[in-house]
Amino acid sequence: MNLTTFNINPFDYQTTPWMLGQRAPSGGYQVPIQQFNSSGFRLPLQGPSHAGLPPPYLAGQPILNRNDHPMYFGSAILDKSVHPCKIEYNMHQLPSPCTVVLDNTVISHKGRYDLLQFNPDAMELVLASEGRIPAGRRPIKGGYEEDGMPLYHGIAVYPRDGQRIPGKTSPRLHGCEYCWGDDVHLATDYEILCWK
């Protein structure tokens, strides 16, 4: 089977002939088999405008939703790397809906980023600690460092008030790195987003 690859973003998205409306060699249509790539389905977004966010019915279920303040996992696309980020709806006081931690600094990202469409039928949060990937689990890739090291989506608990906050994790980080306001934190016990 020939595969056509489209470079929609830094993650590998592929289409098969049945997606392009072509007939299978037998003359009939192939029955599609749903397979998820390592990074999930994503919506490409650009810039600091809160008005440019997709409507909730298109964005899908938020990973967190507190007081009409939905948060989504995302991936901020930088010059030489892609980092997991949090995308916050209804927070118009922020310079950008996309916030990412880079080099121990909180950045309101104004460039390209992708919103991960959370699918609770295929994805789940799994307890993890100290950067380890739980045995037998397939984490959902959220990006990579400049040297190619994978980064994954995580959720940490802010100790002062128990709020759950999206962040990033990897074995090199030894935990889940996240931001609260302008401060960067590291949680050694957290949840990592995995395929079911």
Structure confidence by residue, pLDDT tens digits, 52-98? 888 888 888 888 887 778 999 999 999 999 999 999 988 888 899 99
Domain residue limits, the chain: 42-195
CA distance 68 to 149: 35
Nearest to 101 by CA among 39, 191, 171, 165: 165
What is the residue-averaged pLDDT of the chain? 82
CA distance 100 to 184: 10
The predicted pLDDT at position 37 comes to: 59
The predicted pLDDT at position 38 comes to: 62
CA distance 164 to 168: 13
Nearest to 99 by CA among 90, 89, 108: 108
Handedness of CA 68, 60, 43, 72 (dihedral sign): positive
CA distance 149 to 173: 11
| Per-residue pLDDT tens over the stretch 21-51 | 333 334 443 333 344 556 778 899 998 888 8
- Going by the DSSP 8-state scheme, the letter that residue 55 receives in this structure is P
